Amino acid sequence: MAPSPCALCKVNRALILRPKDHSKLCKTCFIIVFETEIHHTITTNVLFTRGERVAIGASGGKDSTVLASVLKTLNERYDYGLDLILLSIDEGIKGYRDDSLETVKRNAEQYGMELTILGYEELYGWTMDQVVEQVGKKGNCTYCGVFRRQALDRGASRLGVKHVVTGHNADDIAETVLMNLLRGDLPRLSRTTSIITSTPSVSADPLSNTNIKRSKPLKYAYEKEIVLYAHHKNLDYFSTECIYSPEAFRGSARALIKNLERVRPSAILDVVRSGEDMVKLVPGSDEGCGGVCSSSVPAAEENEGGCGSAQGRSTGGEMATVEAQLRHNEIAAADSLETEITAKSVNGKGNGNGKQPGQHESGTVILSNDKKAKKGFVPKKANKQVMGQCKKCGYLSSQEVCKACVLLEGLNKARPKNKIEVGDEVQDVSLNSVRDEMQATSIGGA
């Protein structure tokens, strides 16, 4: 085959078949195009303001490494005037994070960015190793996931940073769209597709960790292109690929996305587009506010359990569990046994706050570790969650006390004495824990 010239510069030899549209590009043009598209995403969505201090949630993986590199490049090229820093979370699992944290440290030097590593220990008083010692291996993923969700926001507020960017890419978003359709979770569908999430009006306290804005500059970037970019720029990253169980929803959705991409390269982007359009069709959605309205569902939601890397192991039977629940509900519905074991009992706590009940009361399938989780399936309307603040830590929560605080309370109570309460609390959490390891893995959820 004759070497073809780059479709853009028409000079150099094309070496890269661009995953997104199969155009043939030379290395230089690919890198420029990739960066320009992210610049385009940033400017059209007005992600940043001049002088803003922005923390990049950095795990040492490809996405966050590329994000840091591209933001540094663009910040200089287009003079965004951003103060970029790296923020990493250390769960405190010996031998697990060490390599990736080393990578982040090298990145900090390479990019000349300030790095802060915050441990679960500093943020919560517990390392994951200690948690495991306390609660055992079973169920500890719930803790890790719940803690991680808040960790970036808590970390950012410690540093006085109001904006955290994460490395979620187009594949992640597309997967989440399909996954939420598969498990019938419309509220989460709305939330995960927006590029910026924040809840500016929840608290006026500047130190409150509810005022953290989250954004995803790589939302429209293909995973394959991120890998190509990292490769051609010789970026230093650490592969921490999660092994998803093929049975779990995300694994299922992920495989589907990969197949779709093979059949039609634009499909990933097309699913993202569908996801954005579908948000406007969810009953009671705040059309067009992009999730930033005060009434909309917030940036970080605490009721998701599970840890990205443990996902495969802990949820092998996830689809089976949901299937069993749904079937149970179908039988109940057929027998007209509809029922107070449904959402109401789950949501009871929220009412004390003067908030509407209605969290997840929507035909949402609650994926839970807990087999006892009772979830009614009386879909009528997809209610959205109404958010308030945790009365303990001030973090966003649809409950009076956020999940992390509930878990911590259990842990701390058990520290001096026996673990009487733990069982209950764990159950309580997993009732609401719909796991979404995109948010769990990431250093931060959407």
The residues that touch other proteins, with contacts defined as CB under 8 A, are 21-23, 36-37, 40-41, 44-45, 170, 177-178, 181-184, 186, 195, 219-220, 252, 256, 259-260, 262-264, 266-267, 269-278, 280-283, 287, 319-320, 322-323, 326-327, 330, 362-363, 365, 379, 381-382
The CA-based angle 210-215-219, given to 5 degrees, is: 150
Report, in Å, the least distance between residue 350 CB and other proteins: 22
Nearest distance from C-beta of residue 3 to other proteins, angstroms: 18
Task: Indicate the residue among 155 and 358 with the shorter CB distance to other proteins.
Answer: 358
Closest CB to other proteins among 243 and 320? Answer: 320
Burial class (CB in 10 A: 0-12, 13-18, 19+), 335: exposed
Instruction: For 413-432, give one letter per residue: b (16+ CB within 10 A) or e.
Output: ebeeeebeebeebbebbbbb
Of 21 and 109, which has the nearer Cβ to other proteins? 21
Structure tokens at 192: 């995960």
Least spacing, CB of residue 45 vs other proteins, in Å: 6
Q: In 3-state terms, what secondary structure has residue 433?
A: coil
Residue 12 or residue 45: which is nearer to other proteins going by CB? 45
CA 106 – CA 75 distance, rounded (Å): 20
Q: Given the DSSP bridges, would you call strands 213-215 and 396-397 parallel, antiparallel or unpaired? A: unpaired
Q: Provide the residue count of the chain.
A: 446
CA 369 to chain centre: 19
Q: Which two tokens stand for residue 81?
A: 């005037």
Q: Which two tokens stand for residue 229?
A: 């970019």
Residue with tokens 């507020």: 157
CB of residue 262 vs other proteins: minimum separation in angstroms?
5
Q: Which is nearer to other proteins, 58 or 178 (CB)?
A: 178
Of residues 275 and 308, the one with the C-beta less far from other proteins = 275
Return all residues near 215 (Cβ < 8 A) that are at least 6 apart: 45, 47, 163, 164, 165, 166, 195, 196, 197
Contact indicator for 54, 163 with CB cutoff of 8 Å: yes
At its nearest, how many Å lie between other proteins and the CB of residue 190? 11
Q: How far is the CB of 187 from other proteins (least distance, A)?
A: 11
Say if CB 239 and CB 61 are below 8 A apart: yes
- Of residues 318 and 428, the one with the C-beta less far from other proteins: 318
**155 or 363, CB closer to other proteins?**
363
Minimum Å gap between C-beta 18 and other proteins is 11
CB of 264 to other proteins, least distance (A): 5
CB of 269 to other proteins, least distance (A): 5
Q: Decide: 306 and 242 in contact? Cβ < 8 Å.
A: no
Helices (H) and strands (E) in the chain, counts: 17, 10
Whether the CA torsion 310, 89, 98, 228 is positive or negative: it is positive
- Nearest residue (CB) to other proteins, 200 versus 283: 283
Q: Give the DSSP H or E segment for 431.
A: helix 422-432
